[in-house]
Structure 1
Amino acid sequence: MLSLIFMKDQKTLAEGVIRVHPRGFGFVIPEEGEDIFIPKSQLNGAVDGDIVSVKVNTHAVSEKGPEGKVVEIKKRGRVELAGTIDKRLSPDQWSVHVPLAGPEKQVIATKSPFPLKVGDRVLMDILDWEDDEIICRPKKHMGHITDPSIDIDCAMVEFDLRKDFPPQAIEEAKRWGQEVNPKHLKDREDFRDWETFTIDPDTAKDFDDALSLRIDEKGHFHLGIHIADVSHYVPPNSHLDKEARLRLNSTYFPNFCLPMLPHELSSNLCSLKEKVDRLTVSVLVELDKDGNTIDYKIVRSVIHSKKRFTYKQAKLVLDGKMKSPHAETLKNMEKLCLLLKKKRQQRGSVEFSLPEVILLVDDKGMPTETETVYYDITHQLVEEFMLKANELVALHVSNQGKNLTYRVHDTPSQENMQEFALLAESFGFKMPTNPKSEDFQKLFREAEASPHGTYLATNYIRKMKMAIYSADNIGHYGLSLTHYCHFTSPIRRYVDLVAHRILWGGRDDRQHMELIAEASSEQERISAKAEMSVLTLKKLRWAAQKKKEDKHKLYEAVVVKVKPFGIVFEVIELMLEGFLHVSKIGHDYFVYDDKNQKLVGEHTGRGYNLGDKFNVRLKDVDLIHAEADWEIVA
């Protein structure tokens, strides 16, 4: 790959991946050197993800960095697609289901160099991309949809997630060694004697954060939130940095993490493991007896974690069922957590403390059982302390007059909130006509003991606007905060790494923040889709296995959405949503009542309302389109 070749006219030629902002401008990420700003007028047909050659004008350097124009598109960013063979159209043409292409485009595979059959998962070269269809040529057979062991590998290809790290990035990571270099402790505050520990899930390997807490003679809390100092190991424009900028976040699948950083850093040198020295950035907060922030400071530091707690272990200690030298500190953390939660509720923040049912899979990728994870006080105290650190960093950077990539959450529409209130009432919860935050707080406290609590929480989130990253600080509605950013997970999120750099004088120009915000928000959505695609496929495999064991088994279904043409229901036991068209819900002509969101039979008067329960039987599972076919059983 070309990089910064000096030319006689004092201009340079560079090559790299271009990231284009919705406002039209872009930045090219070259293999070496700084990002190159590309004005909208100089894109010359390049689109996000393309590999381009850029002519750089060294005299045009500004706060945005070097500036240039695209002179050649070396390679289109999207030249491949992956999907599953759906059906045969002709002797040489096949329809392909491609998640990344969306439902509006038909993808056709032709001229395959190997035999194809329905259910084959294939990687294809794009031959022609038209408005309504994409013509591709298969190039690699990845397996068959019936094989659960390839679900994750196929999802990474289907959603264009980067799997392997370039050799240069691996080499840079290895160069740091296995242990903290004593030379790197200069100008850091030494907290290695402090009582610090981590609290994480059982399977966690990348420990971003550690905690400490002491109480002084005045009864004030001195909370330490110690975050891995990833910025020390990943300098701007290094190979590690460039790869992290392309990944932007880690993606989490069942039993597998696709990391933003190589394992040499993410699972080792940056991970705050117990009983080893680690470089950190510490947010030290003094709070009074009521949980009000008195003072804070942010420093570069070194810690030596005394214990790696799982959530289950920390809960056993708090319940007095397991002995630990850290029991008193955990009790004090619980006390502070409850104070911070109370203050958050007083601000109007809505909190969910609902259990989550997760699906466990074996080493072949096949679901084996479900496990309920309870969002107990140990989860809550970690969350409250991370929220405090993220808030203070956002305030700190803002007060310094610097730009930042904020985590923002816009106010939901009144119409959406009223629709959700109607849904809650259909499940038996009383709601006022114009609900406020305190009404939703009360609802979710009551819903903790309800089998519909998790669904209500999910639906409430769907009615909200999405939280995104933005250079414009509009506040965070869900948390009821005026300033909020992501800072506490730099191992797995690039925006957090950027926030760390800004604290110590790193690049913070407005357009750079806008580009990172837009790219990170988009990649977050792509990763979420990839994660959900695998999870849905695993749930359907689980359902198919249950059908194989008992094809007549009945499941209780609950109506969660009513549409003019059918009903959406949830099968709680299988954690699946299903849909039945009006033609399949009874021998009647059904009329849609928009005001009350119900379907009513014109002749029988029988209706389907939100919250109604009925029995369904699983007829078939379509793994290719990730759908299940259901029938109502009287």
Structure 2
Amino acid sequence: MPRAVDAEALMRVLQQAAPRPLSIDDIARILGLEEFDRRQMKAALEAGVEERKLRRIGKTRYQWVREPETAVRIREAVERRRAPRSRAAVQEERFAGRYQRVRAGYGFVEILGAAARRFARDVLIPPGLENGAMHGDRVEIEIVRRDPHLRRIVGRVTRVVASTHETILGTLEPTRRGWQLVPELDLLPTVDIVGPVQPRRDQAGLIARARLVRPPTQVRPPAGELEMVLGPVDHPDVQFAIIAAEHGLRTEFPEPAWREAGRLPNDPTPADFEGRRDLRDLPFVTIDGETARDFDDAVCLQVSAGGTRVLWVAIADVSHYVPEKSALDQEAMLRGTSVYFPDRAIPMFPEQLSNQLCSLLPERDRLVLVAELHYDRLGHRRHAEFYPAVIRSRARLTYTKVAAVLSDATSTEIEAWRASLGPILDDLRAMHQLMLQLNQARLAAGSLDLDLPEALIDLSEEGRSVGVRLLLRNDAHRIIEEFMLEANRAVALFLREHRVPFPYRVHEHPDPADIDELNRFLARFGFAVHYDGQVRPHDIARLLKQIEGHPLARVLARQVLRALAQAQYSTVNIGHFGLAFPVYCHFTSPIRRYPDLLVHRQLRRVLSGKLEEARALAETLEALSIHCSQCERQAVEAERAMLDLKKCEFMFDHLLEPEPGTIVSVTNFGCFVELDAYPIEGLLKPESFPEDRYYYHEEEQAWIGARRRQRFTIGDRVRVECTNVSLRRREIDFALLERLSPAEATSSTAPAASPQRQRQKRRH
């Protein structure tokens, strides 16, 4: 039986042979194929031509294209149009960002921080101007020119500030001259293995790690020394290592940080209580997911006879144990944030801190910073004050149990839970009432409620994915969320009033051009964002209210989210559009977000009267804000990559199973279908559409048959089967079995999960 040919192997053969073209028979001979599916190889090669990776020469020969023609034209246009610039002018136009390469060969740099407002779009870095930067590196760039023809600001990398890829993970492959490492992330170049340590022949195809000893140039690939052979790609530990390496995540604490953590006690001493308010008599509780191990926030609410209320939000006082510029602080700064995967986490601090000394465990004395917030009967905040304190949590509660006891359910188990809580039950009911008032007021002010469920992965004991479900929020989540929003906002207002710099959490107004593009998409469903001049939060909130209950509500809400900017950190306040807050910061999670720790330190300086010291840190805090924004993006991308990988792993056990689904997006290379049974998307390629010649209509977001005019567009119901899964590319391919009428099913019915999560990670 003829063998199928791996498309990636074809590309590597042609890349190594470049610039020499190869025929189909040449490629088969190099790959050692005696019998192979010629039609399938031809189709794979033609796909490479369409992607501009290959150039067809004659009818049967193909050549690797080192630079796509469009990328060459861009680079040449930039070189032609670049005017001479003085050294001073160049210095004025230097900005920091992260280099993101695309498969077409060029790249982009996203400018973060205060300077980002000068750029409507990411800065284009044409091929040849990346100056040795690799995908994910933090770089400094200069602006070459603002090119109206390309409709882009064009730049060049002046230096690599920090390489994300000191080591690279990939698949070991033998070559004529030795060995090479083909990175799992195909945006990175192939690495030549050099040095005395070489792989064994039986290690071909395994995942290995190499330390870079020579950076790439325009004419020479990078070189690396083999550090470790990790194993097969489907092992959970190998998958974790791949994701961490791809996104430049630090997984090991340096020895000095371990030593500092090891010297810390398990509990605070009475000497630590000096200068703190003693709140150990107040009934604080923590509310987290069932699997959570770090509890960095606790809440307490008391109601007076007149109906006024006092809310205490107590946050672990990490700043007490982590001095500035200590080894622990330096490592936390480099990480910027904790990263959460389905089976493990990469914490910002060692567990001695995150899970012990700074975790607000029940019946243990703990040091905290407190936001004490006073509310009237209508839920309006009338007073706020902040101070260091010591507390003793009464109970470790979970979202599931709190939601159950607050509901109308009356099962034997739930009644037992209610009885076990004693007077805490009344506190929870009062918290629920205040949450409803706060939530109603926030939404009335225009705050957006983009409550998109997250995917939850069920794992076997071996760490393999055996289920994918939706994680739905309940009222217990909302209690903590509203209280944290209130504390964050109150701290931001307090620091601003004292005119000290700190990392605001900012969210820009959307670009009207992006909203106009969104409106073109929404028009086919009868919706639109109506705005006058500048888009306001109320305009988006009104739209979200209108699409509630629509069969495609989740799809439409996702499109709305994509039209909005991403929130980030900056010492320049522009407000938070999504929350409709004029002032906002992150204060409530210093154990897992470095900006929160920076806010704590500034708050402590203000409370101690060290205003001049606090005001002298503006430049440092802006640089750290930019850095932390980049770290957050890396963490989000890594978490998303692991979810995609685990979804692919799950679909391996469901190949060729018929499943109904909905087309949720349309691109120029096919349609993405989300299954009803699982929150999983896969690519439906045009080749599997009914017999006809289909073309992509960008304006209508549809694939249309040339003869029969049959359309495939967003919202269409289809039945598909999974035909291919790639763990390396984290991609799932579907084939069309049949179209479904809307009556057969009208919405996604992916099973919901009980709210279990290590942390509540909504990123406002």
1:604 is aligned to 708
- Name the counterpart of 1:334: 432
Q: Secondary structure at the match of 2:251?
A: coil
Give the partner amino acid of 1:280: V
Query: What is the alpha-carbon distance in structure 1 between the residues aligned to residue 668 and residue 623 of structure 2?
Result: 41
Per the normalisation by structure 2, the TM-score is 0.69
Distance in 2, Cα, partners of 1:468 & 1:119: 40
Partner of 1:366: 464
Greater strand percent: which structure?
Answer: 1
Classify the secondary structure of the residue corresponding to 1:244: helix
1:554 equivalent in alignment to 2:673: no
User: Which residue pairs with 2:446 in the alignment?
Assistant: 348
Give the direction of change, closer, same or farther, for the CA distance of 1:109–1:49 in structure 2 (3 Å limit): closer
In the superposition, relative to structure 1, how do residues 130 and 404 fare at CA in structure 2: closer, same or farther (>3 Å)?
A: same
- Asked if 1:152 is matched to 2:240, the reply is yes
Long gaps (5+) in structure 2 = 1-91, 98-130, 139-158, 409-413, 606-612, 739-764
Tell me which residue corresponds to 2:499: 401
Shift of 1:215: 1.5
Q: Which moved more, 1:380-389 or 1:441-450?
A: 441-450
Match of 1:497 among 594, 597, 611: 597
- Contact 2:319-2:600 at 8 Å conserved across structures: yes
Q: Does 1:304 align with 2:392?
A: yes
Q: Judging changes above 3 Å, is the alpha-carbon distance between structure 1 residues 195 and 368 closer, same or farther for their aligned structure 2 residues?
A: same
Letter in 2 for 1:617: E
Conserved? CA contact 2:166–2:211, under 8 Å: yes
Partners of 1:130 and 1:309 in 2: CA distance: 55
Q: Does 1:633 align with 2:737?
A: yes
1:32-79 CA deviation, whole Å, 9 max, x = no partner? xxxxxxxxxxxxx999999xxxxxxxxxxxxxxxxxxxxxx9x98556
Structure 1, residues 226-273: CA drift from partner, whole Å, max 9, x if none? 100100011111221112112111111112111111111100010011
Distance, in Å, in 2 between the alignment partners of 1:569 and 1:370 is 16
Q: Report the 3-state secondary structure (helix = DSSP H, G, I; strand = E; otherwise coil) of the residue aligned with 2:373.
A: strand
Give 1:8-27 correspondences, 5 Å limit. 23=94
CA distance in 1, matches of 2:521, 2:137: 42
1:525 corresponds, among 615, 633, 642, to 633
Residues 667, 701 of structure 2: 8 Å contact kept: yes
Q: Which of residues 580, 583, 599 in structure 1 aligns to 2:684?
A: 580
Q: Secondary structure at the match of 1:498?
A: helix
Q: Which has the larger radius of gyration?
A: 2
Offset at residue 432 of structure 1 (A) = 5.9
User: Who is 2:190 aligned against?
Assistant: 107
Contact 1:255 1:361 in 2 (8 A): yes
Q: Who is 1:59 aligned against?
A: none
Q: Which residue of 2 aligns with 1:542?
A: 650
Match of 1:279 among 338, 359, 367: 367
Aligned to 1:476: 576
433 and 579 in structure 1: CA distance in 2 versus 1, 3 angstrom threshold = farther
CA contact (8 A) 1:250 1:492 kept: yes
> Quick one: which amino acid aligns to residue 190 of structure 2?
V
Are 1:412 and 2:516 matched, yes or no?
no
Instruction: Kindly state the Cα deviation for residue 447 of structure 1 after the two structures are TM-superposed.
Output: 6.2
**1:619 alignment partner AA:** T
TM-score, structure 1 normalization = 0.82
Q: 2:217 aligns with which of 130, 140, 143?
A: 130
Q: Secondary structure at the match of 1:502?
A: helix
Deviation at 1:521, TM superposition (A): 0.8
Cα deviation for residue 125 of structure 1 reads 2.5
Distance 1:205 1:520 in 2: 24
Counterpart of 2:715, as a letter, is G
Match of 2:667 in 1: 563
Aligned twin of 2:403 = 315
Which shows bigger deviation, 321-330 or 556-565?
556-565
Contact 2:537 2:578 in 1 (8 A): no
CA offsets, 1:73-128, max 9 Å, x none?
Answer: 9x9855633233287665635461343xx62x432344470136664222112233
Q: SS of the residue aligned with 2:442? A: helix
What is the CA-CA distance between 1:25 and the residue it aligns to?
8.9
Judge which range, 210-219 or 574-583, deviates more. Answer: 574-583
Answer yes or no: is the 8 Å Cα contact 1:119–1:624 preserved in 2: no
- Helix, strand or coil at the partner of 1:485: coil
How far has the Cα of 1:622 moved from its partner? 1.3
CA distance in 1, matches of 2:642, 2:265: 35
Equivalence for 1:37 = none
Cα displacement (A) at 1:607: 0.8
For 2:653 and 2:256, how far apart are their aligned partners in 1? 44
Asked if structure 1 preserves the Cα contact closer than 8 Å seen for 2:316 and 2:360, the reply is: yes
Name the residue aligned to 2:258: 170
Q: CA deviation at 1:423?
A: 5.0
Shift of 1:199: 0.5
Q: Answer with 448-457 or 125-134: which moved more.
A: 448-457
Q: 1:429 to 1:206 in 2, by over 3 A?
A: farther
3-state SS in 2 of match to 1:461? helix
Map of 1:265 onto structure 2 = 353
Q: How far 1:483 moved relative to its partner?
A: 0.6
Matched with 2:150 is: none
Q: Confirm or deny that 1:376 pairs with 2:474.
A: yes
Q: Deviations over 1:287-307 (max 9, x none)?
A: 112221111101111111101
Distance 1:223 1:429, change over 3 A: farther
What is the CA distance between 1:315 and its match in structure 2?
A: 1.0
Q: Within 5 A, what are the aligned runs for 1:147-226? A: 147-226=235-314
Q: Does 77-86 or 592-601 show the bigger shift?
A: 77-86
Which position in structure 2 is the counterpart of 1:83?
Answer: 169
Rounded to whole Å, the distance in 2 between the matches of 1:82 and 1:302 is: 45
Which sits farther off after the overlay, 389-398 or 593-602?
A: 593-602
Measure the CA separation in 1 of the matches of 2:654 and 2:599. Answer: 47
Please give the alpha-carbon distance, in whole angstroms, between the structure 1 residues aligned to 2:93 and 2:204: 38
- CA 1:194/1:177 → structure 2, altered by over 3 Å: closer, same or farther? same
After superposition, the C-alpha distances for 1:437-478 in whole angstroms (9 at most, x for unaligned) are: 556546656766667544444433222111111111111000
Q: CA deviation at 1:327?
A: 1.2
Could you tell me how far apart the structure 2 residues matched to 1:405 and 1:433 are? 32
- Kept in 2: contact 1:423–1:610 (CA 8 A): no
Tell me how far apart the structure 1 counterparts of residues 176 and 94 of structure 2 sit (CA, whole Å).
Answer: 43
Residue 562 of structure 2 is matched in structure 1 by 462
Partner residue in 2 for 1:39? none
- Give the distance between the partners of 1:151 and 1:563, measured in 2 at CA: 29
Aligned to 1:516: 624
What is the alpha-carbon distance in structure 2 between the residues aligned to residue 181 and residue 85 of structure 1?
A: 51
RMSD: 3.0
Contact 2:172–2:207 (Cα < 8 Å) also in 1: no
* Separation (CA, whole Å) in 1 of partners of 2:428 and 2:165: 53
Instruction: State the number of aligned residues.
Output: 565
Change (3 A) 1:614 1:521: same
Measured in 2, the distance between the counterparts of 1:476 and 1:385 equals 17
- Per-residue CA deviations over 1:404-437 (Å, capped at 9, x if unaligned) read 11111111123433544565566x6755665975
| SS of match in other structure, 2:215 | strand
Q: Among all aligned residue pairs of Structure 1 and Structure 2, give the percentage whose two residues are the same amino acid.
A: 29
CA 1:86–1:418 in 2, change beyond 3 Å: closer, same or farther? farther
Deviations 1:370-412 (A, max 9, x none): 3443211110110011011111111111110100111111111
Tell me if the contact between 1:565 and 1:582 (Cα under 8 Å) persists in the aligned partners.
Answer: yes
- CA distance 1:98–1:280, shift in 2 (3 Å): same
SS of 1:96 mapped into structure 2: strand
